[in-house]
Amino acid sequence: MASALPLGFTSRCEVADVWLTITTDPEDIQQRLQASSPPGFMIHSVAQVDYNLPALQTLVRSAEFIVTLRQLPEGYDLSREVEKLLALPEILRTRREKVYDLRALILEIEVLPAANPAAYPGLRMQLSAREGATGRPEEVLDALGLDPATTRVEKIAMELSQTSPA
């Protein structure tokens, strides 16, 4: 997978490298994969690529997410908290005993209006996804003081480099 997601996240845009032991027409592979996929799972395209090209995970530059909030703390102003977060020069975090700057990995955050009067607003965020420097939506939510368990996160787009990552 180009950019695997944590358990519980959904996606509209996954990309995978698959190695086959036989040469087969990509259209035939797509039809066969689609026929054996669960309902609602769409295979949009299949392409043959040169074996010597860089691995997909090294080509991912960013990922875009939609976060649906299922609750907010009493008196919480989402727009104000996003503004405060984006105004910070750095947000130091630790992952696997390594300190990194989460702020540098946040490319964009936008507050989305509630879908209806009974719903909560949402978020659209674009996070860096370079090798060794990947922003994670649950860490951004935590930095905003929101419990990721009270949200629904869906990856809606990925930006891939068209050239070697070097």
Q: In which band, very low, low, confident or very high, does the pLDDT at 21 lie, cut at 50, 70 and 90?
A: confident
The alpha carbon of 58 is separated from its chain's Cα centroid by a whole number of angstroms, namely 15
What is the predicted pLDDT for the residue at 3? 67
Residue pLDDT, tens place only, 74-113 = 999 999 999 999 999 999 998 888 889 999 999 999 999 9
What is the predicted pLDDT for the residue at 147? 93
More confident residue, 6 or 9: 9
Which amino acid, 144? L
Domain covering 58-160 in this structure, CATH number:
3.30.2350.10
CA distance 67 to 109: 10
Question: What is the secondary structure of 48-101 as a DSSP string?
Answer: ---TTSPPGGGTEEEEEEEEEES---TT--HHHHHHHHHH-S--EEEETTEEEE
- Both tokens of 63, joined, read 């990922």
pTM given for the model: 0.82
CA distance 140 to 148: 9
- Indicate the pairing of strand 122-130 with strand 98-101: unpaired
Contact 14, 129 (CB under 8 A): no
CB count in 10 Å sphere of residue 47: 7
Range of weakest confidence among 3-7, 71-75, 114-118, 156-160 = 3-7
With a cut of 80, say whether residue 115 has pLDDT above it.
yes
More confident residue, 51 or 39: 39
What is the predicted pLDDT for the residue at 84? 97
With a cut of 60, say whether residue 40 has pLDDT above it.
yes
Q: In which band, very low, low, confident or very high, does the pLDDT at 165 lie, cut at 50, 70 and 90?
A: very low
Residue 105 is classified by DSSP as G
Closest-CA residue to 17 (of 133, 166, 160): 160
